[in-house]
Amino acid sequence: MAEEDKGNVLTLSEEEEHKEKSLALNEAIKKMDNPWGLTPHAMDAKKAAMTMLATKHGMHARVPLVCKGDGCPYSTSCMLLAYDMAPEGEYCPTEIAQIEIRAAGYSQDVDYDSASFTDKNLMSELVTLDIMLERCKALMSKEGTPVIDMAIGVDNDGNEIRQPTVSKSWEAYERISKKRDSVYQLLMLTRKDKMKEGGDDDSISTSQILQDVISNGIYES
């Protein structure tokens, strides 16, 4: 009888240990569902964010600028501001429209509904790059020329020394254009550039051409 009682005690101990392990497992699973340790309110907010990001335009939510009216660096080319329609403090309607138009176009080109997650990310990057190019265009329009006179120092008499140089806006435009072209190729949206034997691209950038013109003294300010 004593042996049976001892056996029962061992069985009960094993059951308790099993319960403890089950509870520990359940807690571990809960942590896996909430690895960030969010509060219930934050969890609801995360679910809402996931829903918004799952939409076609959700991935572009942080791309448009907030309208600053006359204080916007692109105000000189803003058509809405000219007609007193710029909604200061809200997202820029012009950039939102550009995002929607480009997102719709790329979605059609790549067949968004059947596209992979990677392709959708690339499409989102294309839209962002397009908007950045539009901003560069606005700055280039304000400058009026791809070559500008830039102060590079002062002489011994305190006079400002200026030198013609390629506009930073133009250089940024060219870099972003090349980045966009590389994404186009990844998505196979354009014909591949012809390459020299050995795989090197023999194209010369516009900025390099402009810099050569300046170096050769052809440009006159």
pLDDT, the chain, mean: 79
Over range 25-40, report the average pLDDT: 72
Residue 39 has pLDDT above 50, yes or no: yes
pTM of the model: 0.66
Give the tokens for residue 221: 């300010």
Over range 169-197, report the average pLDDT: 80
Residue 156 has pLDDT above 90, yes or no: no
Over range 10-21, report the average pLDDT: 71
Give the tokens for residue 146: 């791809």
Q: Tokens 């980045």, residue?
A: 179
Over range 188-216, report the average pLDDT: 57
Type of residue numbered 27: E
Alpha-carbon distance of 133 to 145, in angstroms, equals 16
Alpha-carbon distance of 191 to 33, in angstroms, equals 45
User: What is the distance in angstroms between the CA of the first residue and the CA of the last residue of the chain?
Assistant: 110
Domain range summary for the chain, segments of one domain joined by +: 53-189
Residue 199 has pLDDT above 70, yes or no: no
Over range 79-101, report the average pLDDT: 94
Residue 171 has pLDDT above 60, yes or no: yes
- pLDDT given for residue 12 in this prediction: 60
Residue 97 has pLDDT above 50, yes or no: yes
- pLDDT given for residue 193 in this prediction: 42
Q: pLDDT confidence of 182, banded at 50, 70, 90?
A: very high
Residue 43 has pLDDT above 50, yes or no: yes
Residue 134 has pLDDT above 50, yes or no: yes
Alpha-carbon distance of 157 to 151, in angstroms, equals 15
